[in-house]
Structure 1
Amino acid sequence: MSSLYLLHKPYQMLSQFTDTQGRATLANVIDVPEIYPAGRLDYDSEGLLLLTDDGALAHRISHPRHKQPKTYWVQVEGAPGETTLNALRSGVTLKDGPTRPAQVRRLEAPGIAPRQPPVRYREAIPTAWIEIVLNEGRNRQVRRMTAHVGHPTLRLVRVAIGPWRLDDLAPGAWRKETLHAPRPKARTPDKRQRRRR
C-alpha cells in the first residue's frame, strides 16, 4: 500500500517544503512527515500537486516515460480563434524545439475559487479560458505555448494528473488516497518445465 496526497497548491507558493527567502512553501498547508512532491508546479501556477512517501510511486507519476497526461485550465489574454487553437493542438516550435500535439478546447469561465491576489482586470483587453492537456512537461511549457501564439497566460490551474483530479479541493486543502499495489501475476511454467513434472 502507498499513500498519495492530493493538494491544491495556491498561487505564489513553492512546490517544496523549505525556502531561504521566506516565500510560502508546502509546509504552510500540509503537515505530514516524510512526504515529497511527485513532480512540481511553478510558483505562479495553481492547482493539483501530488505528494507521496513512496519513491517508486513518485517516479511512476513524474517520469516522462510514463506519460501521465496533465490537464490545465488556462486564462489567456485576448480571445484565441480556431486557427490559434489548431496551432496549439498541432504543436508549436519553442526555443527548445517543437512541442508534442496537445488536446485544446475552449472553456466557459470555470467555477473555481478566485485567485489571491486576483488577476489584474483591464476593460480594454478581453480574456478567455482554454483547457490544455499535455503529455510532456517542459519548464513553463503552457505559458510559453500561449505566449508563442500571441495570447499570454494570465492564470494557470492544473486540474488533473493522469486519473487524479483536483475536483472540489479549495486552495491549500488536501486529501489522502491509499493505493493498493497490483498483485504480481502467477507465473505459469513453460512447456519444458511441465514435461519435467
Structure 2
Amino acid sequence: MRGERLDKLLARLGLGSRKEVARLVRAGRVRVAGEAVRDPGFHVPEGASLELDGKPLAVRRHHHLLLHKPAGYVTSRTEGPSVYALLSGFPTRDLAPVGRLDKDTEGLLLFTTDGELLHRLTHPRHKVAKRYLVHLERPATEEDQRAFAEGLSLDGERLLPAALSLGEDPTRVELVLREGRFHQVKRMFQARGNRVLYLKRLSLGPLELGDLSKGEARYLTPEEEETLYRAVGLGGQDAQGEL
C-alpha cells in the first residue's frame, strides 16, 4: 500500500504549509526511516519513523488547536471574517470548532480533528464546564446567583445549574456553564433584566486560555491532550499512532 506524501504528512503534523515543509525537506533536514529524503513528494512507507533535525516526530491520529479568538470574527468557514483566517500556517482542512463563540465574544476556542472528542465536549450529557468573564450593564446580585444555581428556564426549557461568582465589582463576574445553548450567557442575563456588554471564554473543561495573545493559536501540549481526553472519558484515545 502506497504511503502518504512526505510534504502532506509534515503539514498535517503542524510543521507549516506544504510550501514551508517542502523547504525543510529540500534542505535535507528530514529523515525517513533513518535516511535523509529531499523529495517533498516522497511517499512515506507505513510505520516508518520520521525525524526533523535529528529529533523524532510523533505521528498522532488527531490534532487539537487552541485559539484566542478576538471579537469581530465568526465561527464559520463560509461566513466572514472567519476564525479560520487566524489559523494561517496550520493544516485546517479537517479541523472543526468545538462549539461556537459569537462574533463579539472573545476567548478560548478549541479546534479538533477528532469527531468523538468534539461530540463529548459539546453534548450536554457530559456536562463539560465552560468558564466566562462577563461585563454587565448593571451589577449582578445574590438573587441572580441563586436563580442560576437552581437552573433558569429559557424558551420553556430548564437549563442546567450554572455557577455565578461575584467579586468586588458585581458588574465584572465569572459564570460557569455545563452546556452550550444559542447565545446562552446573554440570554440568561437578559432573563434577569440585565445586559452583557463584554464576554470572554476563559476555559473549557481542563483547558485554560492562559496568556495566549488575541488572534494567536497553538497546538495543545501532550499533557493537555491527555488531560482533555481523560476529562471526557476517552483516556488514551489520542495516543501516538502509526502512519
Query: Displacement of 1:57 after TM fit?
Result: 2.2
* 1:131 match: secondary structure: strand
Q: After superposition, where does 1:121-132 map in structure 2 within 5 Å?
A: 128-132=171-175
Q: Which amino acid aligns with 1:29?
A: L
Cα distance change of structure 1 residues 107 and 8 upon mapping to structure 2, 3 Å threshold: farther
Which structure is higher in RCO with an 8 Å CA cutoff and minimum separation 6?
A: 1
Q: TM-score, normalised by structure 2?
A: 0.62
5+ residue gaps, structure 2? 1-59, 230-234, 238-243
8 A Cα contact 1:48 1:159, kept in partner: yes
Task: Kindly provide the amino acid, as one letter, of the partner of residue 86 in structure 2.
Answer: V
Which has the larger displacement, 155-164 or 83-92? 83-92
Runs of 4 or more, structure 1, over 4 Å off, are none
Task: Give the C-alpha shift of residue 108 in structure 1.
Answer: 5.3
Q: Secondary structure at the match of 1:29?
A: helix
**What corresponds to 1:124 in structure 2?**
none
Give SS of 2:87's match: coil
CA distance in 1, matches of 2:167, 2:213: 20
1:15 and 1:25 in contact (8 A); partners too: yes
Partner of 1:90: 150
1:194 matched residue in structure 2: none
Following superposition, the deviation at residue 93 of structure 1 comes to 1.9
Cα contact 1:73–1:156 (8 A) shared by 2: yes
In structure 1, the residue matched to 2:84 is 27
| Rg larger in structure | 2
Q: What corresponds to 1:171 in structure 2?
A: 214
Q: Which residue in the other structure is 1:8 paired with?
A: 68
Question: What is the identity percentage for the equivalent residue pairs of Structure 1 and Structure 2?
Answer: 37
Compute the displacement of 1:17 (Å).
Answer: 2.7
Q: Structure 1 residues 176, 108: closer, same or farther in 2, change over 3 A?
A: farther
What residue in structure 1 maps to residue 135 of structure 2? 75
What are the equivalent positions in structure 2 for 1:26-175 lying under 5 Å apart?
26-31=83-88, 32-33=90-91, 34=93, 35-107=95-167, 128-175=171-218
SS at match of 2:63: strand
Q: What TM-score, normalized to structure 1? A: 0.75
Greater fraction helix: 2
For each residue in 1:17-72, what CA deviation from the matched residue of structure 2 results, as whole angstroms up to 9, or x when unmatched?
Answer: 332xxx31113211222212121111221111100122222222222222211111
Deviation string, structure 1 residues 127-166 (Cα, Å, up to 9, x no partner): 7111111111111111011111111111111111100111
Give 2:189's aligned amino acid: T
Q: 5+ unaligned residues in a row in structure 1: which ranges?
A: 110-126, 185-197
* Paired residues of 2:122 and 2:179 also in contact (CA < 8 A): no
* Matched AA of 2:83: L
Relative to structure 1, the CA distance from residue 92 to residue 50 in structure 2 (aligned partners, 3 Å threshold; closer, same or farther) is: same
Q: Is the 8 A contact 1:77 1:154 kept in 2?
A: yes
Aligned residues: 164
Shift in alpha-carbon separation, 1:24–1:183, aligned structure 2, 3 A? closer
1:27 is aligned with what amino acid? Y
